[in-house]
Amino acid sequence: MHILLLNEYYPPDTSATARMAAVVAERLAQQHDVTVVAGRPSYDPDETYPFALLHRTIRNHVAVECVGSTAYPRHQMRRRVSNYLSYLALAVPRALAIRPDVILAMTDPPVAGIAGAFIARLSGRPFVYNIRDLYPDMALGGDIVSKKPWVERWERMHRSALKQAARVIVLGDDMRDRILAKGVSPENVVVVRDGSSPAGPMPEASDPIVEEIRQGFPFVALHAGNLGFYGAWETLLKAAEILSNENTGLVFVGGGANRESLGEAAAHLRNVKFLPFRPVEQVPQVMAAGDVQIITVKRGLEGVVVPSKLYSTLAAGRPVLVVAAPESDAARIVTAAGCGLAADPDDPAGVAAAIRELRAALARLAEMGRRARETAKNYARVDELNRFVAAVEGAVPVRGRGRTTTNPQTAPVRP
């Protein structure tokens, strides 16, 4: 088959979505022709392209076409919207010209699924929708937008795209529940988690980078990742205030839209520290630095946002504190496996109590770490990717697969 993947971000962009789009595309390319239509690199890219209406390249057997969208830095919302709109204006006609066997869309920009459904309908091809974040629910729940007529129209168009999709691939059972509530047929919704690969041995506590990240605290609860709109940040800071005289530190490693405001809110808390993102090669040290790793989703966003870093945390053998509603995927997995605790995202005292409970039982922490590694085996990335491929292949009628597939190692970039 020839598969067309629509996602604005793709390497050399460095966002999590760009990385996962590449993982998916390269796995599909092992058996099929894959063309990605992306935008000009704009998400903290490690390489930039000069302006061209269409920049073509081959990356790991995947044909990548970057349309000439604006490439403003992502940190200003108005300019980011310009990137979105210019990408869609150029990507849609380009995708219509390619004529693949199936259209696969992700969720960058947030209306990419609607665009993918539109392209599939005009070209008479099946549509597969891989939902990374659920919009407009994410924008509403994160207070990015308020309920207005245009948002209601967005939701109606999104529901139409969902119902058109031959397959909707979601990241967890909680997200599946959200999609089913929108009227999508259960047989069309497939759960494929991001999963993880086995992690190597953890660095020792005496590792200089580990010591630097721990900031001298005897016990560290660590959150690694984006400080975006989805986390129960206020609850975490109030819990840290409760623990302020108990030799327990709350360390945030990362950045994001709320980094500045959180820093201001925690300025009086000596047991709260903010550190910048670490290079990829230092992820093991970040994992090792936390006695417990925090994963958080504020109430109302469970199933809208699925924190896929859970799986790499499990693979690293780290105990987990999930600050999210009990029906969230992360809370279900962690409590069922006994590899951590879950706490109410609206209850700072409960979060503080959970951290105290973990701090008081170091032998129990070691057992939680062992269970985390065992649980990670249930979500091996290679198995999840096989499920992803099967879902895409199952969306295409057999008669659409009759042509000979080009060897991906020599596949030309399609005109």
DSSP string covering 81-150: HHHHHHHHHHHHHHHHHH--SEEEE-SSSTTHHHHHHHHHHHHT--EEEE-SB-TTHHHHHTTSS---HH
Instruction: Tell me: do 304 and 213 sit in the same domain.
Output: yes
Q: Band of the pLDDT at 78, cuts 50, 70, 90?
A: confident
Instruction: Tell me: do 122 and 187 sit in the same domain.
Output: yes
Q: Report the share of the chain in percent with pLDDT over 70.
A: 96
Which residues neighbour 267 within 8 Å (Cβ) at sequence distance 6 or greater? none
What pLDDT does 107 receive?
94
Dihedral angle sign, alpha carbons of residues 259, 260, 261, 263: positive
Instruction: Tell me: do 17 and 162 sit in the same domain.
Output: yes
Q: How many CB atoms are located within 10 Å of the residue 241 CB?
A: 17
Tens digits of residue pLDDT in 144-156: 888 899 999 999 9
DSSP 8-state symbol, 399: G
CA distance 14 to 41: 9
Q: Report the share of the chain in percent with pLDDT over 90.
A: 83
Tens digits of residue pLDDT in 100-143: 999 999 999 999 999 999 999 999 999 999 999 999 998 888 77
The amino acid at 136: P
Instruction: Tell me: do 180 and 227 sit in the same domain.
Output: no
Q: How is 218-261 classified by DSSP, letter by letter?
A: SEEEEEES---SSS-HHHHHHHHHHTTTTTEEEEEE---TTHHH
Instruction: Tell me: do 222 and 137 sit in the same domain.
Output: no
Give the DSSP H or E segment for 43: none
**Half-sphere exposure (CA, 13 Å, Cβ side) for 25?**
30
Instruction: Tell me: do 12 and 145 sit in the same domain.
Output: yes
Instruction: Tell me: do 278 and 372 sit in the same domain.
Output: yes
**Half-sphere exposure (CA, 13 Å, Cβ side) for 11?**
14
Domain, as residue range, for 83: 2-195+380-401
The answer to the question of residue 395 being in a domain is yes
Instruction: Tell me: do 223 and 144 sit in the same domain.
Output: no
The answer to the question of residue 412 being in a domain is no
Q: Band of the pLDDT at 415, cuts 50, 70, 90?
A: very low
Instruction: Tell me: do 147 and 273 sit in the same domain.
Output: no
| CATH code of the domain in which 55 resides | 3.40.50.2000
CA distance 15 to 159: 26
Q: Band of the pLDDT at 91, cuts 50, 70, 90?
A: very high
360 vs 74: which has the higher pLDDT = 360
Instruction: Tell me: do 174 and 253 sit in the same domain.
Output: no
- Give the mean model confidence (pLDDT) for residues 335-354: 97
The answer to the question of residue 62 being in a domain is yes
The answer to the question of residue 203 being in a domain is no
The answer to the question of residue 266 being in a domain is yes
Tens digits of residue pLDDT in 253-292: 998 888 999 999 999 999 999 999 999 899 999 999 999 9
CA distance 7 to 17: 8
Q: Which residues pair with 63 in a beta bridge?
A: 35, 58
CA distance 169 to 192: 6
Instruction: Tell me: do 355 and 394 sit in the same domain.
Output: no
Q: SS3 of 406, please?
A: coil
In the block, residue with structure tokens 């975006």: 228
The answer to the question of residue 415 being in a domain is no
Q: How many CB atoms are located within 10 Å of the residue 411 CB?
A: 19
The answer to the question of residue 406 being in a domain is no
Whether residue 411 has pLDDT greater than 80: no
Whether residue 80 has pLDDT greater than 80: yes
What pLDDT does 50 receive?
87
How many domains, the chain?
Answer: 2
The answer to the question of residue 176 being in a domain is yes
What pLDDT does 401 receive?
52
Instruction: Tell me: do 221 and 293 sit in the same domain.
Output: yes
Task: Supply the mean pLDDT for the chain.
Answer: 92
What pLDDT does 414 receive?
36
**What end-to-end distance do the CA atoms of the chain give, in Å?**
17
CB distance 368 to 341 below 8 Å: no
Whether residue 47 has pLDDT greater than 90: no
CA distance 226 to 69: 25
